[in-house]
Amino acid sequence: MFSFSDISINKKGVCPGKRISMLLFTVIISISLCGCGTKFSSPYQVHNTISSYNVGVMEEAASTYPAFAEDLCIVAGNVNAEELDLGAAGAASLFDMNNADTLYAKNPNAQMHPASLTKIMTALVALKYASPDLMLTASDNVKIDEPGAQLMGLKPGDQMTLDQALHVLLIYSANDVAILIAEGIGGTVDAFCDLMNEEAISIGATNSHFMNPNGLTQDDHYVTPYDMYLIFRAALQYSLFNEIIQMPTYETVYYSADGSQKELSIESTVLYTKGGYNSPDQITVIGGKTGTTSAAGHCLILYTRDSTGSPYIAVIMNADSAEQLYEQMNKLLAYIDHQS
């Protein structure tokens, strides 16, 4: 796996001024002996003001960072934000995956509450570290009493496979199932969150930090829209994740502590997926994930394709209402044709 601890950077030489220290002069002379464009080591900085992949905006980025950025969209600030007005939404971004191009960005590096968009990282870590047939057993910690929290209704001792749990996590956005997954894989929620943060760093989402696996509001728990793109893109590499986010409904049977069967039937929280909202003409929504809390507002990230089959990732965070969220998302998706 690529390590960010030592990144090679190409940089053109800069002529020194007349007043320069002997030490600096010596360093520059040493570099110049090797010629312009010499590679030197630049330490990777976690929690920079922008995510690590955004170093690609530097001069000669395409040749400088081919190991990890040549097929990634990069963005250091707003892109076409004045041309497309998305109203009061706190942040939004639109990424062309085929061309590694950022078509639109509004506050892409703002640290924000992610709500249940967090569960994408939970799923990514789960798929990386465990098998879908892993059997999970609910502890007392699945009891969540936060008002308005989306729950499946797990009871201590209930059992289901990770495959089942991931379906409930991503389709229905159940917060108690996120705890089930975290403890089943990490042993404790804290240990699982350590894995989440390690994974964020490994994929370059270094401007984010996770304190829980479900996205319920907590201090020091935040992401950026750009980091959500990186996390979502990484999760899309797993076929099971792709399959689940496209499902409008899901039915399964799991087991209680005494071995009796429990039936479960759920439907997607994404209105595009379950047929409650239509995307713009020529745009097909493949799947996505919602997130809603008082602190985060209304959030949505989508994987879509245009009429030619080209893929895009679109994300909106901190919309004022569900109605506004979907209206703004359609404006954002329609912008794909505007740019083509």
What is the distance between the alpha carbons of residues 278 and 257, in angstroms, rounded to a whole number? 42
Least confident of 5-9, 108-112, 251-255, 296-300: 5-9
Which residues neighbour 253 within 8 Å (Cβ) at sequence distance 6 or greater? 261, 262, 263, 264
What is the distance between the alpha carbons of residues 253 and 263, in angstroms, rounded to a whole number? 5
Tell me: pLDDT of 337 over 50. yes
* Between residues 144 and 49, the one the model is more confident about: 144
Other CB atoms within 10 Å distance of the CB of residue 29 = 10
Helix (H, G, I), strand (E, B) or coil at 258: coil
For residue 323, the model assigns a pLDDT of: 96
Render pLDDT for 194-235 as a digit per residue (tens, 0 to 9): 999 999 999 999 999 999 999 999 999 999 999 999 999 999
Residue-by-residue DSSP string for 107-175 = STT--B--GGGHHHHHHHHHHHHS-TT-EEE--GGG----TT-------TT-EEEHHHHHHIIIII--H
What is the distance between the alpha carbons of residues 45 and 11, in angstroms, rounded to a whole number? 18
Domains and CATH numbers, the chain: 1-74 (no CATH), 115-339 (3.40.710.10)
Q: Two tokens at 32? A: 């110049």
Tell me: pLDDT of 168 over 90. yes
For residue 71, the model assigns a pLDDT of: 86
Tell me: pLDDT of 3 over 70. no
Phi and psi dihedrals of 249, rounded to 5?
-140, 165
